[in-house]
Structure 1
Amino acid sequence: MSCLGSVQQKVPCLFVTQVKDEPSAKRERQPFKVLATEMITQKALDADIYSAIPTEKVDGTCCYVTTYKGQPYLWARLDRKPNKHAEKRFKRFLYSTDNSKGFTWDIEEDFKHVPECWIPAKAIDHYNGKPFPDENGHIPGWVPVEKNSKQYCWHTSVVDYEFDLGLVLKHHPEESGLLEISPVPLSDLSEQTLELIGTNVNANPYGLGNKKHPVHLLVPHGAFQIKTPPALNHNDLLSWFSGCNEGKIEGIVWHCNNGYLIKLHRHHLGLTWPIGDPHLTSQPVVVTFSGAKYDYNFESKTLFNYFSKVDGQRFNSLRDIVWDL
């Protein structure tokens, strides 16, 4: 499986943004909104945004696949954040009328401890050989998802380390307009970033599963290329998001030829998310386990076992996936 890009760093917005003195509709306790102007950022222009590949921004939590304990593992996003003292200093700096001199971080003293297995994201800046915080004061990074992890139990539900598998949602390779849920070797996903979506992630905007029978899936970043993208201007993008079925998505991520990623979120245009009928749930989906190379003996009461029992079955929507247990 190919991957168009990696989202291991903060992705800049397509448009120059401005801050409006109103509470954010996206983030609780944020007393301001970030809205897009009509001017495309220089970063996007330098990355040749007009020849980039537009893909759907899927609403979940970011994950990463790389080696741990000698085999491919799923890693969960864990940013290293400032301790209380450093956070107070940073907030005073942000709201200061004179912050022209910049802010000085003490990497050793200013940040909370993270597990020894924590690794920083690849694309972040480094200073004196050490990972440096982004503009929000966070150092993006990852921790491996252990098999019996309680903290990352929804992550563990989409991987089977015994058989080197991840439970993946993607387009069907042959039939246009059809989604497919299938087991994919984690080794095929190595060094890729993905989105974990499902019942217990971000208030479940796609309506997957239910409290009694939660359903979670991995979506490789760049998996859903936009077929009829709008022109790269404010008005056309606003009309596309609000007026067509393909535009019923959280946002767009453009994958540029130089590896850069550029995004635009519905909230940047003043539009709401989540919405009642997102594009991802308007497409039929098939479960494909019979094409696996080996006969697997999955543990009972796992998503892999449940999905293997409905192998070949089609559903009108992701929301229709149910089973009698």
Structure 2
Amino acid sequence: MRRLGSVQHKVPCIFTTEVWEEPSRKRDCQPYQVVATETLNPVAIDADVESAIATEKVDGTCCYVSMFRGEPYLWARLDRKPNKQAEKRFKRHLHLHRTGKGFLWNVEEDFKSVPEAWIPAHGVKHVNDQPVPDENGHIPGWVPVDRDSKQYCWHSSVVDYELGAALRGALEITVVPLNELMEQTLELIGTNVNGNPYGLGCKKRPVHCLVSHGSLPLANPPPLDFNKLRSWFQRPEGRVEGIVWHCSNGTLLKLHRHHVGLPWPDGDTLLSSRSMVVHVNAAVNKYNDFKDLFSSFSKLNGHKFDRLQDLVFES
């Protein structure tokens, strides 16, 4: 699997889409739904999607590894969002036009402030050196995760800047040097992320890890046909949030269950039922602190679990 670079913040659907006048099932406060049609997106055809690698779309929160303060750092996704007055104007526009296109923003006045270190995501358009909001009225971006961050405590639990390393993997948990993840995007999953669809850990002993985008290829991906894809999502092997196709020219395309009118999660997920192994060397156990994820995983070094959701730490 090739390494992915900076996040393509707006991944198009593999099919063309329509906007329905119903509240979104995926995004709170979005008064419309984006639904897939049965027509393959021309972008997909141009990218030769038939020969693309199909991978599982993982349900977590997006992260990014890049330099900060002279060292590799984990960055959390933070979209710059409109203030209340601008949001009301934008919602009125959506109600009339069903799309955010054509709405006029004043970035300096319409948006909430963000931390000084915030940066816009790669691919965000700029006009007069100002980032342009997407069709949802957001400016995708990143903020560095500090060691003792309270707001991003679950992010900081999977990195150790003294070691210069991160906890990565879903089917194999390992410690990976941050400099090997430079300019890559990953998904943070676990107990306190998005309702924990994979059943990792518990409130008393939360478990989190990073999953590299594109690292879970589908063994037998379904044909690129709307009805066959929708049917596949309803079978045991299709219990995933969605599919992301990685094309040879670098184009990414996706299909979410919500695009085809199916709920998520819907019972046990495919990932939570797959076996996993821990390979975290005891050398990283510097703290002997049960609250530290690196220490906890090091005590399970070599352990294999029949299902990801069976992963438990010793008391």
Q: Same fold (TM over 0.5)?
A: yes
**Pairwise CA distance, 1:29:** 4.4
**Pairwise CA distance, 1:200:** 0.4
**1:266-320: CA deviation from partner (whole Å, max 9, x where unpaired):** 1111111102221112211110023x8xx33432220100010110011111111
Q: Name the CA distance, whole Å, in 1 between partners of 2:311 and 2:279.
A: 14
Q: Name the CA distance, whole Å, in 2 between partners of 1:28 and 1:134.
A: 16
- Larger deviation: 189-198 or 49-58? 49-58
Q: Give the SS at the match of 1:94.
A: helix
Aligned to 1:96: 96
Q: Name the CA distance, whole Å, in 2 between partners of 1:167 and 1:95.
A: 44
**Pairwise CA distance, 1:111:** 1.4
Q: Give 2:211's match in structure 1, choosing from 213, 216, 219.
A: 219
| Structure 2 counterpart of 1:152, one-letter code | Y
| Structure 1 counterpart of 2:261, one-letter code | G
Aligned to 2:310: 320
Q: In the superposition, relative to structure 1, how do residues 254 and 100 fare at CA in structure 2: closer, same or farther (>3 Å)? A: closer
Q: Are 1:239 and 2:227 counterparts?
A: no
**Pairwise CA distance, 1:101:** 9.1
| Structure 2 counterpart of 1:49, one-letter code | V
Identity percentage of aligned residues: 62
Whether the 8 Å contact between 1:238 and 1:269 is mirrored in structure 2 is: yes
Whether the 8 Å contact between 1:5 and 1:259 is mirrored in structure 2 is: no
Q: Give the SS at the match of 1:183.
A: strand
Q: In the superposition, relative to structure 1, how do residues 145 and 136 fare at CA in structure 2: closer, same or farther (>3 Å)? A: same
Q: Name the CA distance, whole Å, in 1 between partners of 2:297 and 2:180.
A: 20
Q: Are 1:249 and 2:240 counterparts?
A: yes
After superposition, residues 12-31 of structure 1 pair within 5 angstroms as: 12-31=12-31
Aligned to 1:173: none
Q: Are 1:185 and 2:173 counterparts?
A: no
After superposition, residues 78-89 of structure 1 pair within 5 angstroms as: 78-89=78-89
Q: Name the CA distance, whole Å, in 1 between partners of 2:204 and 2:8.
A: 33
Q: Name the CA distance, whole Å, in 2 between partners of 1:97 and 1:15.
A: 22
Aligned to 1:298: 286
Q: Give the SS at the match of 2:172.
A: strand
With normalisation by structure 1, the TM-score equals 0.90
**Pairwise CA distance, 1:94:** 2.5
Q: In the superposition, relative to structure 1, how do residues 18 and 32 fare at CA in structure 2: closer, same or farther (>3 Å)? A: same
Q: Name the CA distance, whole Å, in 1 between partners of 2:240 and 2:180.
A: 27
Unaligned runs of 5+ in 2: none
Aligned to 1:307: 297
**Pairwise CA distance, 1:264:** 0.2
Q: Give 1:274's match in structure 2, choosing from 250, 262, 265.
A: 265
After superposition, residues 67-86 of structure 1 pair within 5 angstroms as: 67-86=67-86
Whether the 8 Å contact between 2:190 and 2:198 is mirrored in structure 1 is: yes
Whether the 8 Å contact between 1:250 and 1:266 is mirrored in structure 2 is: yes
**Pairwise CA distance, 1:8:** 3.9
**Pairwise CA distance, 1:258:** 2.1
Q: Name the CA distance, whole Å, in 2 between partners of 1:319 and 1:46.
A: 39
With normalisation by structure 2, the TM-score equals 0.93
Whether the 8 Å contact between 1:119 and 1:143 is mirrored in structure 2 is: yes
Q: In the superposition, relative to structure 1, how do residues 48 and 99 fare at CA in structure 2: closer, same or farther (>3 Å)? A: closer
* Moved beyond 6 Å, runs of 4+: 98-101
**What count of residue pairs does the alignment treat as equivalent?**
313
Q: In the superposition, relative to structure 1, how do residues 197 and 97 fare at CA in structure 2: closer, same or farther (>3 Å)? A: closer
Q: In the superposition, relative to structure 1, how do residues 135 and 219 fare at CA in structure 2: closer, same or farther (>3 Å)? A: same
* CA RMSD in angstroms, aligned pairs only: 2.1
Q: In the superposition, relative to structure 1, how do residues 101 and 265 fare at CA in structure 2: closer, same or farther (>3 Å)? A: closer
